């Protein structure tokens, strides 16, 4: 019997890697996406799985839309990854973030409760929920106190707790993964890691001359996204539902990330990186580092890609992208990273 999975937010970094993993394991994969004027399927195309996903348009603000997606997919497992996941944007759009990243989880859980399905449910929680508790650089685990410092983190905390409530109140197989920062070449350019790797590549190619950043001292526990997708899957393979911190156990600063990125292209980061106050958040978490002991013990999971290798992977792929671009090669998955991306992607999808 073939397992069926429904991934909300399949077009995002985590959704794409998780879809690829599940396809390798023989799953029939359904993925929800938000209808926009310019389709955002480049990550699925990049991984070569676009044609293998059953795509279902869903409005996370509409309960009937979620119910329809569940009915279409008839899933054994649901991975709820869709969210407004950019911390800075959550300060600009706090109400929308609260609904999409928080309340939408309740809609999914209530849809499952009403349909009486026995599908297993995974909620993508976030290390940002710990907020100021991370500032003493003590590794944080499933029992640590939450003190969110952004609308995004607050919305995620609501989603985290409502998942636990539905699990305990209704006996649902509902789990959470408290994932610390995880990056890859599929990360969006609005995130600082990809912003750095892309800028280092462009500066090396002579296409840019400086990189503007905000808080260089912020420290995060950065892992490799494909490995974190595996952790999500492992969470739903347990006999009993639970909550799991997924992390590397090491924290590195934005400054360290920039230094390593420019080192990969044989440049001195200090000659190109400038501080721009526009990129400073109203409130910022100084440090987040995770204790993944439970995941290691119960899931048999541990990260395999260290910090230096992660940065190297991202910078080298951005170099490859820009080299292809300069040679005149055009691929659908390159579109969101370069000028006139809407025109390029639209043209590619029509071919």
Which sequence positions are flagged as catalytic? Answer: 126, 128, 152
Residue 18: exposed, middle, or buried by beta-carbon count in 10 A (0-12, 13-18, 19+)? buried
Instruction: Name the strand (E) or helix (H) holding 31.
Output: strand 28-33
For residue 299, CA distances in Å to 14, 54, 84, 146, 333 come to 19, 28, 28, 23, 33
Q: Both tokens of residue 158?
A: 């609501």
- Cα–Cα distance list, 58 to 3, 54, 100, 185 (Å): 22, 13, 12, 26
Please tell me the distance from the alpha carbon of residue 209 to that of residue 199, in angstroms, as a whole number.
9
Query: Which is it for strands 273-275 and 211-213: parallel, antiparallel or unpaired?
Result: parallel
Dihedral sign for Cα 177, 178, 183, 189, please. Answer: positive
Residue 275 has phi, psi (to 5 degrees) of: -85, 130
Rounded Cα gap, residues 201 and 255, in angstroms: 17
Q: Are strands 77-80 and 120-126 parallel, antiparallel or unpaired?
A: parallel
Closest CA to 75 of 40, 31, 113: 31
Measured torsion, CA atoms of residues 107, 113, 115, 116, in degrees rounded to the nearest 10: 160
Distance between CA atoms of residues 140 and 174, nearest Å: 22
């Amino acid at each position: 019997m073939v397992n069926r999975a429904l991934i909300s937010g399949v077009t995002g970094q985590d959704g794409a890697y998780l879809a690829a993993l599940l396809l390798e394991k023989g799953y029939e994969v359904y993925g929800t996406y938000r209808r926009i004027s310019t389709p955002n399927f480049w990550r699925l195309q990049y991984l070569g799985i676009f044609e293998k996903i059953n795509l279902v348009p869903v409005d996370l603000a509409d309960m009937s839309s979620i119910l329809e997606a569940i009915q279409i997919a008839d899933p054994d497992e649901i991975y709820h990854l869709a969210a407004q996941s950019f911390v800075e944007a959550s300060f600009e759009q706090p109400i929308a973030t609260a609904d999409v990243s928080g309340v939408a989880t309740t809609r999914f859980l209530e849809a499952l409760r009403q349909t009486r399905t026995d599908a297993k449910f995974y909620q993508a929680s976030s290390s940002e929920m710990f907020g100021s508790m991370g500032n003493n650089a003590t590794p944080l685990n499933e029992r640590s106190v939450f003190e969110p410092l952004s609308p995004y983190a607050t919305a995620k905390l609501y989603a985290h707790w409502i998942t636990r409530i539905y699990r305990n109140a209704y006996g649902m197989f509902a789990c959470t993964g408290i994932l610390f920062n995880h990056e890859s070449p599929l990360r969006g350019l609005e995130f600082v890691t990809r912003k750095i790797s892309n800028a280092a590549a462009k500066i090396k190619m002579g296409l840019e001359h400086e990189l503007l950043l905000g808080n260089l001292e912020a420290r995060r526990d950065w892992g490799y996204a494909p490995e974190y997708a595996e952790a999500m899957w492992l969470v739903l393979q347990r006999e009993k539902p639970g909550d799991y911190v997924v992390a590397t156990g090491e924290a590195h600063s934005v400054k360290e990330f920039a230094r390593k990125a420019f080192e990969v292209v044989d440049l001195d980061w200090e000659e190109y990186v400038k501080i721009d106050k526009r990129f400073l958040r109203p409130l910022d978490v100084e440090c987040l580092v995770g204790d993944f002991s439970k995941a290691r013990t119960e899931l048999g999971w541990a990260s395999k890609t260290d910090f230096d290798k992660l940065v190297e992977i991202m910078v080298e792929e951005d170099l490859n992208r820009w080299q292809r671009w300069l040679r005149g090669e055009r691929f659908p998955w390159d579109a969101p990273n370069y000028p006139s991306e809407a025109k390029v992607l639209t043209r590619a999808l029509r071919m």
